[in-house]
Structure 1
Amino acid sequence: MSHSTAFASQADLAEKKTSFTQLSANAWAYTAEGDPNSGVIVGDDSVMVIDATATPVMAAALVRRIREVTDLPIRHVVLTHYHAVRVLGAAGFVPEGAVNVIASRATRDLIVERGAEDMASEIGRFPRLFQAQESIPGLTWPTLVFEKELTLHLGSLEVRLLHLGAGHTSGDSIAWIPSQGIVFSGDLVEFNAGVYTGDAHLAAWPDTLDRLAALQPQQLVPGRGPALRTPADSLSAIAYTRDWVQTLLQCARDGVAAGHTLQQVYADTRRVMDPVFGQVFIYEHCIPFDVSRAYDEARGIANPRIWTDVRDREMWAAIQS
């Protein structure tokens, strides 16, 4: 097996083409060929952004797209989870006026616990995703947190923010427009892209996906990948994510039961997953971090260990040596 040994995605420099796709009278998907997605909901009186992008300069590019369709104030920025690539651009929306930065309580707790380490880790792994990183003023802090559910009314349009359970992180949230059946899932769901699980709760994730599927999404914007425009495609993306997560954890459980090392489990997992998923965007980036977390969870480490730039490189060297 010959795999890339360049660290993470430092060599990934090719720019991705962004698309701003209208899903309904109120909803848009901001996607970029497998890079992290954002969402936009335009109500009667204000705008909500789902996931803030990675830097204020990148957020400004999203604001320009929003201004092509509405001049209403951007009042709400929702963080689906704590990862730097999703949250550090929040300051880019402040020039637009007073902004609520909204997250689950579990997401805020993770920013307190590991936000600084995560920021250094993510920028080191994948610098292209942090364009103009010098524009980042620091960590993004939610100004409004909720436990399980928060309902907002953008005029007559109802939007529900739901923390359905642990998955990609312990704090994942989705944004749902019940009247239109549109879901912005964050990284709880991916499609035709790598499913990053380095901070995941793998055993819990499928049950959380079941609760998401029970909403019967008519359209779904995943964390990465294209917007899914039909109920069938939405369920396919949920199934794709479930398959990745369950296959990964089962490989790790089998390896741990057999007394295998992390390096052995990595090789065995790749033999199973490469033929199914190996061609998708950022597969090579995700799989070492994914196997590391799966191996930990299979050994009973319930709370994901904090990634630091030092731990990242030590794992990368060990797993591929």
Structure 2
Amino acid sequence: MAKAFASQGDMTEKKTSFTEIGRGLYAFTAEGDPNSGVIIGDDSVMVIEAQATPRLAQKVIDCIRGVTDKPISHLALTHYHAVRVLGASAYEAPQILMSDTARGMVVERGQEDWDSEFQRFPRLFQGHESIPGLTWPTTTFRDRMSVYLGNRRVDLMHLGRAHTAGDIVIHLPDENVMFTGDIVEYHSACYCGDGHFSDWGSTLDAIKGYGVDAIAPGRGDALIGRDMVDTAIENTRDFVASTYAPAAKVAARGGSLKDAWDAVRAECDPKFADYAIYEHCLPFNVARAYDEARGIDTPRIWTAARDLEMWQALQD
């Protein structure tokens, strides 16, 4: 390889924040690293996104213990990616929730994704030796389910494909707040390596239709107020469209993956080069956009070996 992935050299620790975005609702954010969410119910707590390792999960737990001593009863996982789910054991939550499709993706590609992401982004796997294995849900659903934390209703919904085929969002109707996972980002690149570009916009429309007052996005700062929410949704839409359109044009004329890379960079660099993890995401985003434009609906499985082959092709 001519050079390493951008993320392999990213070893800088990120400052974490724990922001209240509604009554008893918190966003754990980390300057572009994966976010988590916290919902405090009448008798117990739901955590959204586990982090990549039990050691990193402990940072979220420490924040929770700063505001409540209620037990953690539920862990909701918005999708299957290793950096979101492999820290689950730290919470000792009796219930782990995922969509049916997300569980199927753990079966199909969970280990491959773990191996791939560990190679790409070692800093996000601090304490990886304590991961007991793949994370499996105790409960799954197809389109929608509600959980009651005492009288507090939590709605979990699959609104459409976007970041992955199995994405869910979590909505709190009492505060009109949503946790979106990586469907929405804020000043962070979207990772589209398992994405569905043609569906992402309509899924964003569905989220926007709720008119929520705050969002905890997958990465980036908590979004408080409808102006900030709408700005983040539209920036995410622009990022996804700006990645796909140039790659699709190249694919339509029979160009190569390297041609698509050059075309996407020309479109996206001026707008998004300063976004968190931009360089990390870009090769995977281009490869997936190029595949989708050529009619490959189901994202090909990323493996540690395929990562290196793709990266070498772009360097050549």
Residues 1:33 and 2:31 aligned together? yes
TM-score with structure 1 length normalisation? 0.96
Matches within 5 A, 1:44-55: 44-55=42-53
Q: 8 Å contact 1:7–1:313 — kept in the other structure? A: no
Paired letter, 2:59: A
Deviation at 1:235, TM superposition (A): 1.1
TM-score scaled by length of structure 2: 0.98
Deviation sequence 1:86-133 (CA, Å, 0-9, x none): 000000011xxx520000000000000000000000011000011100
Match status 1:110 vs 2:108: no
CA contact (8 A) 1:169 1:199 kept: yes
State how 1:40-189 maps to structure 2 within 5 Å.
40-94=38-92, 98-189=93-184
For 1:106 and 1:153, the matched residues in 2 are separated by 23
Instruction: Give 1:272's aligned amino acid.
Output: E
Following TM superposition, by how much is the alpha carbon of 1:165 offset from its aligned partner in structure 2, in angstroms? 0.8
Q: What's the CA shift for 1:141?
A: 0.2
Deviation at 1:320? 2.2
CA contact (8 A) 2:192 2:281 kept: yes
Q: In structure 2, how many angstroms separate the alpha carbons of the residues matched to 1:8 and 1:76?
A: 35
CA distance in 2 between counterparts of 1:316 and 1:8 reads 11
Unmatched 5+ residue regions in structure 1?
none
CA contact 2:160–2:167 (8 Å) conserved in 1: yes
Q: How many Å apart are 1:60 and its aligned residue? A: 1.6
Query: Does structure 2 conserve the Cα–Cα contact (< 8 Å) formed by 1:82 and 1:107?
Result: yes
Within 2, Cα distance between the matches of 1:7 and 1:195?
16
Specify every segment of 5 or more residues in structure 2 that has no aligned partner in the other structure, as ranges: none
SS in 1 for 2:309: helix
Aligned: 1:300 with 2:295: yes
1:44 is paired with a residue whose SS is coil
Match of 2:223 in 1: 228
2:197 match: secondary structure? coil
Aligned match for 1:241, one of 236, 240, 261: 236
Contact 1:37–1:51 (Cα < 8 Å) also in 2: yes
State the superposition RMSD in angstroms: 1.0
* Alpha-carbon separation, structure 1, partners of 2:243 and 2:3: 21
How far 1:24 moved relative to its partner?
2.1
**Aligned partner (choices 14, 20, 23) of residue 21 of structure 2:** 23
C-alpha displacement at 1:25, in angstroms?
Answer: 2.0
Cα distance, 1:314 vs. partner?
0.8
Match of 2:245 in 1: 250
Does 2:197 correspond to 1:199? no
After superposing on structure 2, the runs of 4+ consecutive aligned residues of structure 1 that deviate more than 6 Å are none
Percent identity between the aligned chains?
51
